[in-house]
Amino acid sequence: MRTMRALVLDGPGKAVITDVPAPVAGPGQVVVDVHRAGVCGTDGEFFNGHMAYLVSGQASYPLRPGHEWSGTVSSTGDGPEAAWLGKRVTGDTMLGCHQCERCWRGRQHICENRYEVGVLGGWHGAVAEQVMVPASSLHALPDTVGDSAGAMVEPGGNSRRAAESAQLTPGSRVAVFGPGTIGLLAAAFARSLGAEVHVIGRSLPGLQLARDLGLTAWAADELPALRFDAIIDGTDGPDVPSAAVDLVEPGGRIICVGLAGRPSLIDTRQLVLKDLTVIGHLSGSPAMAATIAAYADGSVDPDPLVAATVALDRAPDVLAGWRPDDAGAGPKIHIDPRR
């Protein structure tokens, strides 16, 4: 039996690189040689044992994380999926059952019986030398989208979708809470739509990175008296939605992408009296193609958000909070399993 190296989480704080059976593509499936895999907050929550799916029993150890990735298709099943062989790709995290009404309506990301690559349902993730996924989940990467940007399509889809839902037009003023990966990408997409963008947060390095990227950024306790047409919450702060209700203009929109560790409390009377629209987004699935197009034409550049790319052997250290001494200012660390 052929094996490969992969990151395996055996319990809270227990992460190892070990040999596992290499995937074999069945009908409708492909195997991808992984070139880049991003480590995100969800992976960190699995590592520390706080991830909501662990608490609810929907996920359990051992598990193999990694849902932000890019690579090249190295083998396929015998059907139409063989056309993907040799192509550079990334893929959707959300794998619906394809049998329910939600899937039929193109909403597989909220399918009740979905898998999530590296997250839910035991579908192995991409912090490994190879990952197997359904061919139906693939998105081709043009030559103008490199491996690093390809692994930023999944988080970029969340951010692109948030910016679209804010219904921004040239001259709209939008506040983006959270200078992390999702927040900074959302700010970049909002700027590409012609909006006046203000990034708000508590992380001084994150705020400085936002400024270095040409964005206006404010510490949360130093925000001037501005009103906003829309607000995007890309944080895990339970108090941010309430602050957003206070800040947004009547008739405005609040887009919630982040997940807090405890319930967020808002005054629903204010939602009515200010005629507000509040939207929650679970996934970037509906916006992945648009995200690739934006990366390809240069209107959004995700590469400055990647601080470093390290070998697979360092993945457990990254989960534990390690950053290379020469890492840049970006919030994201990538793994290159070929190293």
Q: What is the pLDDT of residue 106?
A: 87
Q: Specify the DSSP element, H or E, that contains 248.
A: strand 248-256
174 & 41 share domain: no
In a domain, 289, yes or no: no
pLDDT at 314: 98
Q: Looking at the structure, do residues 126 and 185 belong to the same domain, yes or no?
A: no
Whether residues 145 and 213 share a domain: the answer is no
Give me the pLDDT at residue 12, please.
96
Q: Are residues 13 and 139 in the same domain?
A: yes
In-domain check, residue 296:
no
Does residue 275 surpass a pLDDT of 90?
yes
- Residue 275 belongs to a domain with what CATH number? 3.40.50.720
Residue 297 belongs to some domain of the structure: no
Beta-carbon contacts of residue 225 (< 8 Å; ≥ 6 apart): none
Whether residue 166 lies inside any domain: the answer is yes
Q: Which stretches does DSSP call E strand in the chain?
A: 3-11, 14-21, 29-39, 68-76, 88-91, 94-95, 115-116, 130-134, 138-140, 173-177, 196-201, 216-219, 228-233, 248-256, 277-280, 306-311, 332-336
Residue 286 lies in a domain: no
Residues 37, 335 contacting (CB under 8 angstroms): yes
Average of per-residue pLDDT values in the chain: 95
Mark whether 121 and 235 lie in a shared domain.
no
pTM given for the model:
0.95
- Residues 124 and 197 occupy one common structural domain: no
* Boundary residue ending a domain (280, 311, 326): 280
In a domain, 294, yes or no: no
Burial class (CB in 10 A: 0-12, 13-18, 19+), 312: buried
Total domains in the chain come to 2
With H, G, I as helix, E, B as strand and everything else as coil, classify residue 56: helix
- Taking only the tens place, the pLDDT of each residue in 104-115 is 998 988 999 999
Mean pLDDT computed over 60-82:
96
Sign of the C-alpha dihedral, residues 127, 132, 134, 138? positive
Please compute the mean of the pLDDT values over residues 67-93 and round it to a whole number: 96
pLDDT tens digits for range 6-20: 999 999 999 999 999
User: Stretch 56-70: mean pLDDT, rounded?
Assistant: 95
The yes-or-no verdict on residue 262 having pLDDT over 90 is no
pLDDT at 55: 84
Alpha helices in 145-239 (DSSP H): 147-150, 153-165, 181-192, 204-212
Percentage of the chain beyond pLDDT 90 is 89
On the question of pLDDT at 175 being above 90, the answer is yes
What number is the average pLDDT over the span 164-191?
96
Where do the H-state alpha helices sit in 200-330? 204-212, 240-247, 268-273, 288-297, 315-319
pLDDT value at residue 77: 92
Q: How many CA atoms lie within 13 A of 258 on its CB side?
A: 28
Residue 239 domain flag: yes
- Please report the pLDDT score of residue 1 as a whole number: 84
Distance of CA 118 to the CA centre of its chain: 12
Structural domain contains residue 292: no
Residues 213, 143: one domain? Answer: no
Average pLDDT over residues 269-291: 95
- Start-to-end CA distance of the chain, whole Å, equals 23
Structure tokens at 21: 């059976």
pLDDT higher than threshold 90 for residue 268: yes
SS3 39: strand
CA separation for the pair 163, 230 (Å, rounded): 9
40 token code pair: 């995100």
* 235 within 8 A of 178, measured Cβ to Cβ: yes
Over residues 115-140, the mean pLDDT reads 96
What is residue 135's three-state secondary structure? helix
Task: Output the six-digit token pair for 144.
Answer: 């103008």
Instruction: State the pLDDT confidence band at 147, using cuts at 50, 70 and 90.
Output: very high
Asked if residue 174 and residue 52 are part of one domain, the reply reads: no
Based on the fold, state whether residues 257 and 126 are members of the same structural domain: no
Radius of gyration of the chain (CA): 20
Same domain, 55 and 180: no
What residue numbers bound the domain in which 326 lies? 3-152+302-336
Check: CB of residue 132 under 8 Å from CB of residue 156: no
pLDDT at residue 46 tops 90: yes
Q: Can you give the pLDDT at residue 92?
A: 95
Both 259 and 165 in one domain: the answer is yes
Please write the tens of the pLDDT for every residue from 208-242. 999 999 999 999 989 999 989 999 999 989 999 99
Same domain for 196 and 133: no
